[in-house]
Amino acid sequence: MEFNEMKDSVLKQILSKQLIQATISQPRAKSNEIKRIKLKPIEIKNMYHIQLEYQYERILKHENIRIEEFSSAWEKLLDDFRQIHVDFIEEKIQIQLSKKNKVMYKTEKNTSLKQVDLSHNRKKNYLLDEHTPYPFLIRLGVQTSEGKVKKQKYDKFKQINRFIEFIDDTLAYLPKDKTVRILDFGSGKSYLTFALYHYLKIEKGLDIRVTGLDLKKEVIEECSQIAKDLDYDDLEFLVGDINDYNDETAVDMVVTLHACDVATDMALARAVKWNASVILSVPCCQHELNRQLDAPGLNIMLKHGLIKERFSALATDSIRAEILNLVGYEAQLVEFIDIENTPKNILIRAYKTGGKPTHEQIEGYEQFKEMLNAQPFLENELKEYLNID
């Protein structure tokens, strides 16, 4: 299919009010601060609009465009981005554009029978409905046996749903022709591990096999029993840590939540070496850079212990994301949960693209590292993948 034919065909369905949702991603320009745009139809004052949700590194912005005025916006979107996933009422479309607008176009019948939801001013629409009983949430004590979210667990329920939103965003990057292999390092009480399994296996019907790994034997035993009680046959929990686990040669998704200090880097390095398509990591207790920092130009900040600690954490995660960008991933730092609930609220989200870094990217990374006197553990772990002198 030619570019103009594709452009007109998709636009025609949108203008015919067939759109359920769409995601536009892969900015053509590295300087584009917008990383992803989500589209959905809404009704405002009895008038049909297309809502554009612009996803930046740390914030979301919204724009509502009347359908009669959408054509020009559609042209601009195709000029700035290269990947499009669209759900229409009767079909799903995946489009990949080359630099010269050569079109890779896939379509399949939409069997989910979704209806267009035009509601706008409504309560938060969670992927897990707060009025529906879920066996794993009941078993974990988040819901009552009747399916009502317990008041003291509502923040946990929101966290679980926020995590599932990230999982939902990964679907386009996971393999479709084999069992999807997922590892969760430091799974702990495993609220999110169970949520991931439920959403991908039960809600989405994917062929997956999930392993949760943690050092606490009693926690692993409890989680294993819960998985057995729920008949989660493709979910297992093992005692061990990142350094001990050598049972895999390839993994599709690696999740690591609150792995302390360089344990996060170990998990990220393992994910890269396994050629993982998706990495989701919430770091914790970043001490490495705090010990190394030697930046006289920042002394006004760094003489304050609290500020130095927070700066070190932010700089560490920025370095981690940039290293992932340099070894062929599209990495972003996004807010995982409201900061009033936990200060450990940054999630590193990375998708395997196979892209090669530019000279400017490598130079920028080196300058930042030199400014801080940083010697990143993750860089050393991935030195064979980095073309850095």
Per residue in 294-316, pLDDT tens?
A: 999 999 999 999 999 999 999 99
Pseudo-torsion of CA 218, 220, 226, 229, nearest 10°?
-100
Mean pLDDT of 219-245: 90
Q: What CATH number corresponds to the domain at position 215?
A: 3.40.50.150
Considering its fold, how many domains does the chain have in total?
2
- The secondary structure of residue 33, as a DSSP letter, is S
* Domain boundary, last residue among 68, 92, 109: 109
- What distance in Å separates the CA atoms of residue 34 and residue 387, rounded to the nearest whole number? 27
CB hemisphere CA count around 318 (13 angstroms): 16
pLDDT bin (cut points 50, 70, 90) of residue 262 is confident
CB hemisphere CA count around 246 (13 angstroms): 2
**pLDDT number for residue 336:** 80
Q: What is the pTM of this model?
A: 0.68
**Pairing between β-strand 253-260 and β-strand 180-185 as defined by DSSP bridges:** parallel
Please check whether residues 355 and 224 belong to one and the same domain. yes
Please check whether residues 100 and 140 belong to one and the same domain. no
Please check whether residues 96 and 199 belong to one and the same domain. no
Please check whether residues 38 and 155 belong to one and the same domain. no
Could you give the percent of the chain with pLDDT greater than 90? 50
pLDDT at 135 over 60: yes
- In the chain, the amino acid numbered 51 is Q
* Domain boundary, last residue among 63, 93, 109: 109
**pLDDT number for residue 343:** 47
Please check whether residues 145 and 92 belong to one and the same domain. no
Please check whether residues 224 and 89 belong to one and the same domain. no
Could you give the percent of the chain with pLDDT greater than 70? 93
pLDDT bin (cut points 50, 70, 90) of residue 109 is confident
Instruction: Tell which wins on pLDDT, 247 or 303.
Output: 303
pLDDT bin (cut points 50, 70, 90) of residue 188 is confident
Please check whether residues 72 and 185 belong to one and the same domain. no
- Per-residue pLDDT tens for 7-50? 899 999 999 999 999 999 989 888 888 988 999 998 887 889 99
pLDDT at 335 over 80: yes
* Residue 37 belongs to domain spanning: 3-109
Pseudo-torsion of CA 74, 78, 84, 89, nearest 10°?
20
- In the chain, the amino acid numbered 208 is I
